[in-house]
Structure 1
Amino acid sequence: MPSGRPPEKGETAMNILCIGDVVGSIGCQFLRQRLPSLKKLKSVDLVIANGENSADGNGLTPASAGYLFHSGVDVITTGNHAFRRRESYALYEEHPYVLRPANFPEGTTPGRGSCLVDLGRLQVQVINLMGTVYLESLDCPFRTADRILAEPDRPKITVVDFHAEATGEKRSMGFYLDGRVSSLFGTHTHVQTADETILPRGTGYLTDAGMTGPIDSVLGVKKELTIEKMKNKLPIRFDLAGGPCKMDCVLFSVDPKTGLTQGVERLEII
């Protein structure tokens, strides 16, 4: 099985950067500091970032979404905190590149679970799905993926953000979609995994892209607060940590002719 590797010089590829959960205003600010130079260094064509925690106190707001877009993000995906902030509901309806998981109930849930990004020479479909193991009981993400991938006139390049808790569910989805999508990256756990690879049929894969936010923290939260919560079992308000940050991400280099991944590079930007 081919392993994850950076693309070789001279290879023609579309470089798609996928950024792990952006945590609060501190994560948004760090992304703005680091993303422009990374895009230039890696010749990035498209940036996808999970923004469901980009507002302080969880959720996505029009302000945090606007900040990410102005910082160089092209598509914002979300997950179980997608609808934590009511002021974002209209945003999902109005902005074509703000996604919620596609397996939320259709007709009653604002927004959409996939979008088409026109880059001129190529088009890219981005799909947002959410797992159901240890999370909300949504529609089956596997059947939802089948439904979307059966739609006519789809572009050759498709990237999936699978926002899920269980690593087994994420890896199962990776193999299920292998050869049917260009790349799949997981989000939600805020911990970057070290299993970047190209699956047997050519789909680029990483179980979890990680987190963009404070390093000296527990998933972005002040460590003393999470310790107190777990030790004393009493309700406590979580506040975001401060200090030095990192941006966890993965770069997929996709062959525009086949729509399959030819290189995977896991990145931690500090």
Structure 2
Amino acid sequence: MRIVFVGDVMGEIGMRAVKMYLPLIKAKFHPQVTIVNGENADNGRGIKATQFKAILQAGADVVTLGNHAWDKRDVNELLATNDNLLRPANYPGKNTPGQGMVIKKVNQQQLAIINLQGRALMNPLDDPFMIADQLLQQVPKETKIFIDFHAGATSEKGALAHYLDGRVDAVVGTHTHVQTNDAHVLPKGTAFLTDVGMSGSYDGILGVKASSSVQRFLTQQPTRYEIDDNGRPQINYCVLDLETHNHIQVGQINPDRPLDV
């Protein structure tokens, strides 16, 4: 089973990158399942129905979220009516809208897609390690398992991957917007990548205008981050082959790395 996973869509320029490049990526790699993290799609904060639909139209099968999951008013209805839009499963409360896991049938196989959020450097949600244990008990045997772990600390991402090594097929991190150079398979077979990166401006800083970020460091005063929607687009992704022996590779399309078709 082949999966393409695209990193955090950041603003309108990230949406343009997904619309332009995701069809090309799919044409090259022919994935059975395509997953996109869309939690920054609406000006860096959350996702609206129009963006969710556009990401699906570009080729995504499932959209995951993160710490900005609740930033838009209509997200509750979106989560309640679309099982292919996931929010982190470890948000507390029995009546939290939506779900953090979906199981999809892929030809003769099944794939469980799980969305979790870290707690280090972020809001103190329920323990992602324990929630992962609970979710895995609900997954039928012989099901492939992919986890988008939306977390800020490299150590927490690595710890979860090692904790689940051999019990899930892949743990891929999101949130920090910079693709890491550590894609590998852990000793018991779980494919791991600390962060897949983002889809957004290639010219700014983490998707925002460089000037607004620099100003904050110069003045040590709160400044409003502005999405760099006029920059040059980039997309960061990874390709996973979940078989008897799992495999993961990273990919980027940007002005310095055009897609090799």
TM-score bin (small chain): over 0.9
TM-score (norm 2): 0.94
8 Å Cα contact 1:124/1:155 also seen in 2: no
Amino acid at match of 1:268: Q
Question: Could you list the runs of 5+ residues in structure 2 that have no partner in the other structure?
Answer: 255-261
8 Å Cα contact 2:183/2:194 also seen in 1: yes
User: Deviations for 1:198-256, whole angstroms, at most 9, x for unmatched residues?
Assistant: 1111111100000101111111000000111222122322211122111111111111x
Cα distance in 2, alignment partners of residues 88 and 196 from structure 1: 32
Amino acid at match of 1:265: Q
8 Å Cα contact 2:204/2:231 also seen in 1: no
Superposed, 1:133-152 pairs within 5 Å as: 133-151=120-138
Cα distance in 2, alignment partners of residues 175 and 149 from structure 1: 15
Matched residue SS, 1:246: strand
Determine the structure 1 residue equivalent to 2:195.
208
Determine the structure 1 residue equivalent to 2:82.
95
8 Å Cα contact 1:60/1:85 also seen in 2: yes
Cα distance in 2, alignment partners of residues 198 and 97 from structure 1: 27
Amino acid at match of 2:242: V
> Does 2:29 align with 1:26?
no
8 Å Cα contact 1:125/1:155 also seen in 2: no
Superposed, 1:48-87 pairs within 5 Å as: 48-87=35-74
> Does 2:222 align with 1:238?
no
Question: Could you list the runs of 5+ residues in structure 1 that have no partner in the other structure?
Answer: 1-13
Residue identity over aligned pairs, in percent, reads 37
Amino acid at match of 1:253: D
User: Deviations for 1:36-73, whole angstroms, at most 9, x for unmatched residues?
Assistant: 12112112111111100011241111111111011001
> Does 2:213 align with 1:226?
yes
Superposed, 1:180-191 pairs within 5 Å as: 180-191=167-178
Match of 2:235 among 247, 251, 260: 247
Determine the structure 2 residue equivalent to 1:119.
106
Amino acid at match of 1:190: H
8 Å Cα contact 1:192/1:210 also seen in 2: yes
8 Å Cα contact 2:10/2:44 also seen in 1: no
Cα distance in 2, alignment partners of residues 231 and 37 from structure 1: 40
Determine the structure 1 residue equivalent to 2:248.
264
Cα distance in 1, alignment partners of residues 61 and 79 from structure 2: 15
Cα distance in 2, alignment partners of residues 152 and 46 from structure 1: 18
Superposed, 1:157-196 pairs within 5 Å as: 157-196=144-183
Amino acid at match of 2:250: R
Matched residue SS, 2:54: helix
Amino acid at match of 1:264: I
Cα distance in 2, alignment partners of residues 187 and 57 from structure 1: 14
8 Å Cα contact 1:25/1:64 also seen in 2: no
Superposed CA RMSD in Å reads 1.2
Higher relative contact order (CA 8 A, sep 6+): 1
8 Å Cα contact 1:27/1:214 also seen in 2: yes
8 Å Cα contact 1:212/1:247 also seen in 2: yes
Matched residue SS, 1:86: coil
8 Å Cα contact 1:77/1:161 also seen in 2: yes
Q: Which moved more, 1:130-139 or 1:118-127?
A: 118-127
TM-score (norm 1): 0.91
User: Deviations for 1:97-128, whole angstroms, at most 9, x for unmatched residues?
Assistant: 10000000142321100001122322211000
8 Å Cα contact 2:112/2:139 also seen in 1: no
Amino acid at match of 1:157: K
Determine the structure 1 residue equivalent to 2:258.
none
